[in-house]
Amino acid sequence: MERYRVVEGQGLYFLTFSIVQWLPVFTNQAPCRIVTESLNFCHLNKNLRINAFVIMPTHLHLVAFDEAFDGKHLQQTITDFRKFTGRRLADYCAEHSPACFT
């Protein structure tokens, strides 16, 4: 797993989050809604500013920054987003996806 790097003094980041084994999880509205709700929460409560995002069947891209350009805060926000969203997506897949997804 390659870790993302947030560098102090930089402002805008292009981030990619992929699904384990590139499984096509984002093929219907429910898992996409999990991602958008999580992004919205981070925007409203964690000062994440989103310039653009796209959800593909196996991954998502995000262009974002921290409102105060605080690299440490952005890194914590990304970590929180990944943990929370990943857990919700894993639970969704366990309940709604074929056995090969779990």
Residue 76 covered by a domain: yes
Residues spanned by the domain of 76 = 13-101
Half-sphere exposure of 73 (CA within 13 A, CB side): 16
Q: Are strands 48-55 and 13-18 parallel, antiparallel or unpaired?
A: unpaired
Q: Please compute the mean of the pLDDT values over residues 3-10 and round it to a whole number.
A: 68
Average per-residue pLDDT in the chain?
89
Residue 30 covered by a domain: yes
The model's confidence at residue 100, banded by pLDDT at 50, 70 and 90, is low
Amino acid 52: pLDDT:
97
pLDDT at 63 over 90: yes
The model's confidence at residue 89, banded by pLDDT at 50, 70 and 90, is very high
Query: CATH number for the domain including 67?
Result: 3.30.70.1290
**DSSP character at residue 97:** S
CB of 52 closer than 8 Å to CB of 13 = no
Residue 80 covered by a domain: yes
Q: Structurally, how many domains does the chain consist of?
A: 1
Contacts of residue 10, Cβ cutoff 8 Å, sequence gap at least 6: 71
Residue 8 covered by a domain: no
Residue 71 covered by a domain: yes
